[in-house]
Amino acid sequence: MEQLILATGNPGKLEEFRRLLAPLGLPIVGLDPRISEEGDSYAANALLKAEAAARASGLPTLADDSGLEALQLDGFPGLRSARLASTQTDRNRALLSRLHGLPRPWRARFVCTLALVRPGQPPQLFTGTCCGEIVEPRPGNGFGYDPMFLVPETGRTFSEMLPEEKDRWSHRGAAVRAMLASGALRRRVGSS
């Protein structure tokens, strides 16, 4: 494999996957499939995106669907994490408004399912999770819900971590490690 398509229009996600997949030595190109994520699971949405981008490009394609699940809210927002409101600030406010008044800590988990689609082969799925807590947003880097997702073992939110540290703890990092361990993707010949 000489190139991998990542089905996303999110620059933060593209940067994160390039970092996570750097050991493969593959160029990773973002392609936004611009489809409606109407699946009933993370796997269904990841497959919708991967299949659409693979059809458009004719190349091996990876897509993910991820969500933040607040345990006191029975997994809300989950599949609706990115569509809870029109801006991330409004999404954060909407989630916090539902949590206020409930006992703390506000336990949560991030879930990521990856779909790998290659021409002529059945799709493959890989899932990773990270358990933590929802807190008031903290400053730092990151995107999405990173500023409000605390990993208790570190005392920091994803946004407060260095990228390499986030990769060790994150749901995407766990899903990518599962994919790499499966041998589904191989290091490019000649890469160091």
Does residue 188 form part of some domain?
no
Read off the pTM.
0.92
In the predicted structure, residue 121 carries a pLDDT above the cut 50:
yes
Q: Is there a domain that residue 187 lies in? A: no
173 with 129: CB under 8 angstroms?
Answer: no
Which pLDDT band holds residue 120 (cuts at 50, 70, 90)?
confident
Asked if residue 138 is part of any domain, the answer here is yes
Q: How far apart are CA 57 and CA 42, in angstroms?
A: 22
**Mean pLDDT of all residues belonging to the chain:** 93
In a domain, 190, yes or no: no
Tens-digit pLDDT profile for residues 84-97? 999 999 999 999 99
pLDDT of residue 34: 87
| Higher pLDDT, residue 10 or 170 | 170
Mean pLDDT within 122-132: 98
Q: Say whether 65 is catalytic.
A: yes
pLDDT tens per residue across span 61-84:
999 999 999 999 999 999 999 889
Is residue 57 in a domain? Answer: yes
Read off the CATH number of the domain in which 125 is found.
Answer: 3.90.950.10
In a domain, 44, yes or no: yes
- Residue spans of beta strands (DSSP E) within the chain: 4-6, 28-30, 61-70, 76-77, 106-117, 124-134, 149-151, 156-157
Instruction: Retrieve residue 65's tokens.
Output: 């669907």
- The amino acid present at 15, given as its one-letter code, is E
78 occurs within a structural domain:
yes
Catalytic residue among 32, 40, 64, 65: 65
- 140-190, pLDDT tens digit by residue? 988 899 999 999 999 999 999 999 999 999 999 999 999 999 999 876 544
Q: What per-residue confidence (pLDDT) applies to 191? A: 46
- Give Cβ neighbours of residue 145 (< 8 Å, ≥ 6 apart): 68, 81, 88, 91, 92, 95, 110, 134, 158
Give the pLDDT score at 155: 97
* Domain span at 92: 4-182
154's tokens: 């570190």
Question: Closest by alpha carbon to 55, among 7, 22, 2?
Answer: 7
Task: Label each residue of 148-192 as H, E or C.
Answer: HEEECCCCEEHHHCCHHHHHHHCHHHHHHHHHHHHCCCCCCCCCC
Q: What is the pLDDT of residue 188?
A: 56
Confidence (pLDDT) at 187 = 61
CA distance 71 to 129: 14
Total number of domains in the chain: 1
Q: Residue 117: inside a domain, yes or no?
A: yes
Residues near 3 by beta carbon (within 8 Å), at least 6 away in sequence: 26, 27, 28, 29, 59, 60
Type of residue at 59: L
Q: 50 pLDDT band (50/70/90 cuts)? A: very high
